[in-house]
């Protein structure tokens, strides 16, 4: 009987251990959520007053206006149960500070431009007494890990230990800004700035092409090619201030009209052929939209008055420390 009781207790203990193994720890289910990005300075600890936040915001906005790079500050009570490094990369991945490919293409006017990734996150876990500087790919040369560590040790730590959190953050921003100023980064696009001339011309060139096709349907391909090519050529000469480029554009459009104008059903019975999302009668031509797909306003940098990341990437570069 005693043996049976011991076996029963052992079985119960083993069953309990098995159940405990299947239940994840409560802490693992309570990761600190990443807050939404709506400002350059996000203080969830209530440490900074309105004036201090505004002063930091102004510094960061001025840097972004000059260089295009984005620095954001996040203060949280704790990152537990995660290490500050793990929480920091989660925030960086969610906020996407710095200029990604689309923003880089807009700022440079080059549709083949790659991401700039010029973002920096300053993360403060106040109750943990820990700081993390997360550096985007594109600034890892200007702010290597050793430099980020020194900024924490020499600029942030001493001031935080005396309770001067605003002063520590200002010192860190000033040091980071000096290093970013020395980088050869593409200038940021400014609201109201004109697009690159070649992109501004595209609607007029496509309009000439369209008119040429219509004329070719009514008066013949040769006349249509002359009208379309001539219109596109004159537009290009005026817009690009280059006779050679204008002639090349005109000849190209004229040749396309000559070729495309001969396609179709040969009269009223011709059928409309779909190409992509837009059609052009019997010619079956796609008229692509010029520009940057939605304009040069809005987007990742807080269209509509807010603040947001520009699609930048992070790979774990930076440093952590405490005070």
Q: How confident is the model at residue 279 (pLDDT cuts 50, 70, 90)?
A: very low
Q: How many Cβ atoms sit within 10 Å of the Cβ of residue 36? A: 11
Place of tokens 């200029």: 99
Decide: helix, strand or coil at residue 74.
strand
Q: How confident is the model at residue 166 (pLDDT cuts 50, 70, 90)?
A: very high
Higher-pLDDT residue of 258 and 54 is 54
Q: What is the CA radius of gyration of the chain?
A: 30
Q: How confident is the model at residue 283 (pLDDT cuts 50, 70, 90)?
A: very low
Question: Of 135-149, 160-174, 289-303, which range is least confident?
Answer: 289-303
Alpha helices in 241-284 (DSSP H): 243-260
Give the residue from 126, 120, 122 showing the smallest Cα distance to 160: 126
Give the residue from 130, 178, 135, 180 showing the smallest Cα distance to 156: 130
Q: Are 104 and 296 in contact (CB under 8 A)?
A: no
With b for 16 or more beta-carbon neighbours within 10 A and e for fewer, the 103-137 pattern comes to: bbbbbbeeeebebbbbbbbbbbbbeeebbbbbbbb
Q: What is the pTM of this model?
A: 0.62
Task: Please state, in angstroms and rounded to a whole number, the distance separating the CA atoms of residues 194 and 198.
Answer: 11
Peptide bond into 81 cis (omega under 30): yes
């Amino acid at each position: 009987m005693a043996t049976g009781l011991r076996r029963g207790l052992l079985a119960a203990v083993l069953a309990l251990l098995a159940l405990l193994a299947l239940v994840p720890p409560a802490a693992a289910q309570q990761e600190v959520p990443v807050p939404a990005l709506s400002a350059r300075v996000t203080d969830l600890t209530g440490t900074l007053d309105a004036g201090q936040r505004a002063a930091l915001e102004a510094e960061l906005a001025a840097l972004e206006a000059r260089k295009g790079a984005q620095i954001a500050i996040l203060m949280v009570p704790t990152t537990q149960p995660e290490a500050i490094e793990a929480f920091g990369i989660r925030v960086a991945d969610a906020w996407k500070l710095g200029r990604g490919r689309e923003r880089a293409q807009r700022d440079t006017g080059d549709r083949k431009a790659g991401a700039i990734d010029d973002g920096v996150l300053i993360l403060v876990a106040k109750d943990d007494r820990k700081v993390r500087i997360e550096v985007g790919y594109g600034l890892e040369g200007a702010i290597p890990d050793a430099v980020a560590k020194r900024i924490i040790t020499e600029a942030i730590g001493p001031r935080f230990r005396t309770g001067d959190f605003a002063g520590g953050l200002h010192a860190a921003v000033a040091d980071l800004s000096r290093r970013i100023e020395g980088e050869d980064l593409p200038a940021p696009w400014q609201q109201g700035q004109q697009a690159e001339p070649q992109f501004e011309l595209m609607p007029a060139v496509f309009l000439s092409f369209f008119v040429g096709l219509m004329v070719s349907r009514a008066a013949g391909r040769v006349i249509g090619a002359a009208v379309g090519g001539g219109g596109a050529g004159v537009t290009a000469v005026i817009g690009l201030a280059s006779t050679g480029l204008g002639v090349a554009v005109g000849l190209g459009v004229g040749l396309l009209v000559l070729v495309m104008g001969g396609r179709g059903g040969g009269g009223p019975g011709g059928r409309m052929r779909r190409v992509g999302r837009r059609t052009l009668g019997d010619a079956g031509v796609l008229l692509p939209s010029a520009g940057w797909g939605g304009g040069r306003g809005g987007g990742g940098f807080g269209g509509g008055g807010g603040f947001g990341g520009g699609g930048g990437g992070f790979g774990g570069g930076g440093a952590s420390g405490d005070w």
